[in-house]
Structure 1
């Protein structure tokens, strides 16, 4: 009887040692990608992943949502991610179907147009990133910064209006660097509107 128990333990240990251990989980695959914690594959390449679906109120009622938590917001019709903290969630739409949510105005920025000058540059993306990343004032309990697009090429850049008697915009490159000439000193009421569009 004792020999039988020892034999059982030896066999169990041998099986455990011979079994491959994986740190990834694969669904419909026995070889999940090494960089993934979860690798889901569609056998016929005709199926997707369905995230939990809920209204905005239900989403906002999630207690201490993990940073990066994803749900599908049925009201906003978008994949929504917690870009804040568990204690202070900041839900942002990653992929909205409504085209109106894909554009936003650049934060206010001062452009020195006090003297005539040519071939001046202003990095629109850099100004946006600085202001969103390090706002000058934050409400109690809010994250220290706003989420922003990590690459300047994630956006398209538009100037929808500017004072053509003061500036001549010659180009805006794909990274958001605007080149312009100051053709006369600006008055106090000269403005420029810059809009970003998500690609």
Structure 2
């Protein structure tokens, strides 16, 4: 009996160790998980995918000490969101959308920058224009689309963007751009027909 108990303990130990060994590499719907993976998911009949946790931006931001590499699906931004920072240094990179059209920078749509008061006189003092609103309006309400295309062009949230002016016609002087994308400027002279300002957005 004593021998049987020892033998049973040996079997249980062996099985337990075997379970731990198997759990180090798990295959779902496959008996041969890839050797480089911890978890290998194989869609049954190739008609199913991986569904990661879904939450709003507020819920995502409320996660306490998110681990570097943590991923969720942001239902507000409609993107897979990755935490690119470490808990020891929060806020440097924060959350970043991985699947939002795979763009790291973009040029904003054409924008008219007022320089006159309507009577031919220059605008005096510091003026402002909301670059993000111009971008949002253009992408949210395109004038023409191709057959079968969605009615709205996918767009970024204002808090996801940095704003740059890479060129400015001498007729105006850009004095600054707020974090929300509001550009301040002063008018120096009436522009000629080819005056323009080149604005670039980048993802944070």
**How many equivalent residue pairs?**
116
Partner of 1:167: 172
> Where does 1:99-114 land on structure 2 (aligned, <5 Å)?
101-114=103-116
Aligned-pair CA distance for 1:153: 2.0
After superposing on structure 2, the runs of 4+ consecutive aligned residues of structure 1 that deviate more than 3 Å are: 45-49, 78-81
Q: Report the CA distance between 1:149 and its aligned residue.
A: 1.1
- TM-score, normalized by length of structure 1? 0.51
Q: Secondary structure at the match of 2:135?
A: helix
Answer whether contact 2:142 2:151 (CA < 8 A) is retained: yes
Q: Distance in 1 between matches of 2:172 and 2:160?
A: 27
Provide the residue aligned with 1:140 in structure 2: 147
TM-score in terms of structure 2 length: 0.50
Q: What is the Cα deviation at residue 80 of structure 1?
A: 3.8
CA distance in 1, matches of 2:199, 2:127: 17
Cα deviation, residue 111, structure 1: 1.2
Q: Residues 114-133 of structure 1: matches in 2 within 5 Å? A: 114=116, 115-117=121-123, 118-133=125-140
Cα 1:182–1:144, aligned 2, differ >3 Å: closer, same or farther?
Answer: same
Corresponding residue for 1:184?
Answer: 189
**5+ residue gaps in structure 2?**
1-52, 56-66, 72-77, 81-96
8 Å CA contact 2:79–2:98 kept in 1: the answer is no
Distance 1:69 1:147, change over 3 A: closer
- Kept after mapping to 1: 8 A contact 2:162/2:179: yes
C-alpha separation between the residues in 2 aligned to 1:170 and 1:47?
38
Once the two structures are superposed, the pairs formed by residues 1-199 of structure 1 within 5 Å of their partners are 79-80=98-99, 92-93=101-102, 101-114=103-116, 115-117=121-123, 118-150=125-157, 152-164=158-170, 166-199=171-204
Give the 3 Å change call, closer, same or farther, for CA 46–147 of structure 1 in structure 2: closer
Cα distance change on mapping 1:69 and 1:124 into 2, 3 Å: closer
Question: Which string of whole-angstrom CA distances, capped at 9 and with x for unpartnered residues, describes residues 74-101 of structure 1?
Answer: xxxx9546xxxxxxxxxx23xxxxxxx4
> Cα–Cα, structure 1 residues 146 and 116, in superposed 2: closer, same or farther, change >3 Å?
same
Deviation at 1:48, TM superposition (A): 6.5
Report the equivalent of 2:6.
Answer: none
Quote the residue 1:88 is aligned against: none
What is the Cα-based RMSD across aligned positions, in Å?
3.0
